[in-house]
Structure 1
Amino acid sequence: MRGSVDQVVATYLDHLAVERGISRNTLDSYARDLRRYGEFLSGSGVEHLADVQPAHVTEFGAVLREGDGDHPPLAASSSARALVAVRGLHKFACADGITDHDPARDVHPPAPARRLPKALPVDDVLRLLATPPEDGERSLRDRALLELLYSTGARISEAVGLDVDDVDTTERTVVLDGKGGRQRLVPVGRPALEALDAYLVRARPVLARSGRGTAAVFLNARGGRLSRQSAWHVLKTAAERAGISATVSPHTLRHSFATHLIEGGADVRVVQELLGHASVTTTQVYTLVTVNTLREVYATAHPRALR
């Protein structure tokens, strides 16, 4: 079967969505990367994936890093991601019998620099959560959202994706829908449960009157499900009101949750389960954060550290 590049790409993306269940954001990124790969191959006179040679893949990697007339150079992480998408495409095509060889097998993306996640100190998190909210239903919602994010380590998308039935106040747990359709059961601390209870009893029914009966836990002013962008805005606003000068991102409380657990002595595999990481390797980056903290404390506190 000599499928055109576009046909095989479409088949591969369907495979990722249906059989692998990857997230929409990842699928969109792969689609963009492979569309650019298809344009590159077409410009090189290659119309069928079976005609791709290792030199084409290597040259595409160079174009990603150096840019061309239509595209600027990509950051190292973006270039690596695009090559991962290309390798996946060729591996799929070879395994499925669409091609009889894998030209990308020996082309490896550069290892990205290991970036440490940004976590707030415990005192900053406690100050953020303790900042008195303004009056009104949305303030109760915002307090419950922030408490839940830090108590569970949920991604913002997971928190806004919560439905009322996902919260079990008796067992003090929530069910989070993670990446790739993987669900996990996560315990919830008492302060977060109290904030959730206050919101669900006193505020959510008021917000729900403007909507159409959605099951979402966190509602916007129109009674619909709160968006990720709005949830991020809640976090940024709370950090500003608390006087936190550090940069705040959508993952700030998640990173803080994991780092504080590791610093408190939690086993890395337990933290892996709580975060919903498929591989413990992803979670182990938080152990580097704590090692760096120990090194800084040692350097400033030990009388012979700098000798």
Structure 2
Amino acid sequence: MSSTNNNQNFTYGKSNKPQNLLLQEHKFIQHCKSIENQLPEYLEDFFLYLKSSVALTTRQAYLEDVLFFFRYLVEHTKLVHASLVSEIPLSDLQAITAKDINRYLGDYCTHYVVDEESSQKIVENQNRSLSRKKSSLSVLFKFLFREGLMEKNITDGFNPIKLPKPQPDAIKRLEIEEIEELLQLVDTGHLFTKKEKSFWEKTKFRDKAIIMLFITYGLRISELQQLNLSSFNFRRMEFKIYRKRGKEVEMPLNHTTKTVIDEYIQLERPKSMELEPEHSDALFLSLQKKRMTVRSIRNLIKKYTALVLKTDVKKGYSPHKLRATAATTLIARGFSVYDVQNLLDHDNITTTQLYAAHRKNVKKEIISNFEWTEESDESD
């Protein structure tokens, strides 16, 4: 890959991935390298280990957590004798104990202040965030022990962090009647104000195609945002997506989805020749004729679902809840959890089983059909 100018136009070779995905990965890689440059040189083999063993987004998250921990050592403790993160000697790191990590996670990370340009922000981490930070440090210190850079595996002494067990009742998703109202809204715009309706008129075919892909396939927001015109083969009735770890997957098209996407392309989407090269292949475009961002897609879905749920836009449902909607709807229509797991790309079948367990009014159904007296049975 070679740069052709300062506006980040690239020439790509030896890859079947679309250019937008390659550019996105390039940005992730550059960010990872910028973090690595701030850390001590003796962690170079650890960087190579992450590069080859985890997904790019996970690699970035681990590096950010490690950098955050090292900054904590420099700025808030007497555990190291350096004024810069990059200058922390290996001997200081070797002296770190499990007790030090437990204090970091259980005390500092639960509540701290971040200095911003003109203000300060208070950050509070709950157990899920603390668990991720613990996981990042566990990976680091296990690697150092395995490589002989630490005498003991201190991770055995890390305090457990209890995470709440996922409950089916906690799953938020749209019910069938709400899905029907959502589709009616995107078709008619009947719940929008006059001003909102003027914008809806310009994007209604795009919005319907986005919603249809979410509720039919349960796509992740990143999978949808990355879609291109070239992702679709209408003759073969399929389209290509890139899942976690860059896994390429061919998805079948049904006629409903094909129709709404074709309508959007033919009736609303600007022609590719009218667009900047960077966005000419992007499927979903903003009114500024640029590829929609993850944030703009999320805001769009929250706007529509808030109207359907009759709530504030901040309480509207995210695209991930439309993913849950797709899963529970498919299972309710008789598809097996294994088929749904395959369609949604769940790593673990227990995730899919949560959706299978989630049925509306299940407690009421059980009790109403479980009477102890004949009178109750006869009254029914």
| Larger relative contact order (Cα-Cα within 8 Å, sequence gap ≥ 6) | 1
Alignment length (residue pairs): 299
Number of the residue aligned with 2:353: 284
Using the TM superposition, give the Cα deviation of residue 177 of structure 1 relative to its aligned residue in structure 2, in angstroms. 1.4
Stretch moving more, 258-267 or 138-147: 258-267
Contact 1:172 1:187 in 2 (8 A): yes
- Which structure would you say has the larger Rg? 2
TM-score normalized by the length of structure 2: 0.68
Secondary structure at the counterpart of residue 184 of structure 1: strand
> How far apart in 2 are the matches of 1:205 and 1:68?
47
TM-score normalized by the length of structure 1: 0.83
Using the TM superposition, give the Cα deviation of residue 157 of structure 1 relative to its aligned residue in structure 2, in angstroms. 1.4
Secondary structure at the counterpart of residue 88 of structure 1: helix
Q: Which aligned pairs between 1:78-157 and structure 2 lie closer than 5 A?
A: 78-107=129-158, 109-115=160-166, 116-131=170-185, 132-133=187-188, 136-157=201-222
Structure 2 unaligned residues grouped into runs of 5+: 1-37, 81-87, 115-121, 190-199
Question: In the alignment, which of 278, 302, 305 is matched to residue 369 of structure 2?
Answer: 302
Secondary structure at the counterpart of residue 101 of structure 1: coil
Using the TM superposition, give the Cα deviation of residue 41 of structure 1 relative to its aligned residue in structure 2, in angstroms. 3.4
The amino acid of 2:215's aligned partner reads Y
Contact 2:110 2:130 in 1 (8 A): no
2:104 paired with 1:60: yes
Using the TM superposition, give the Cα deviation of residue 57 of structure 1 relative to its aligned residue in structure 2, in angstroms. 2.1
The 1:101–1:7 alpha-carbon spacing in structure 2 relative to 1, beyond 3 Å, is: farther
Question: In the alignment, which of 311, 317, 325 is matched to residue 248 of structure 1?
Answer: 317
The amino acid of 1:53's aligned partner reads T
TM-superposition CA deviations, 1:162-212 (whole Å, max 9, x none): 122222323433222122222333333322221011112222234762433
Seq. identity, %? 21
Contact 1:177 1:184 in 2 (8 A): yes
Number of the residue aligned with 1:164: 229
TM-superposition CA deviations, 1:85-124 (whole Å, max 9, x none): 1111112223344434321134254231134331110111
Contact 1:208 1:219 in 2 (8 A): no
The amino acid of 1:302's aligned partner reads N
Number of the residue aligned with 2:296: 230
TM-superposition CA deviations, 1:44-78 (whole Å, max 9, x none): 41443322222222222322565367775421111
Number of the residue aligned with 1:35: 67
Number of the residue aligned with 1:260: 329
Question: In the alignment, which of 76, 79, 91 is matched to residue 45 of structure 1?
Answer: 79
> How far apart in 2 are the matches of 1:53 and 1:200?
59
The 1:226–1:173 alpha-carbon spacing in structure 2 relative to 1, beyond 3 Å, is: same
The 1:126–1:15 alpha-carbon spacing in structure 2 relative to 1, beyond 3 Å, is: farther
Using the TM superposition, give the Cα deviation of residue 147 of structure 1 relative to its aligned residue in structure 2, in angstroms. 0.6
Structure 1 unaligned residues grouped into runs of 5+: none
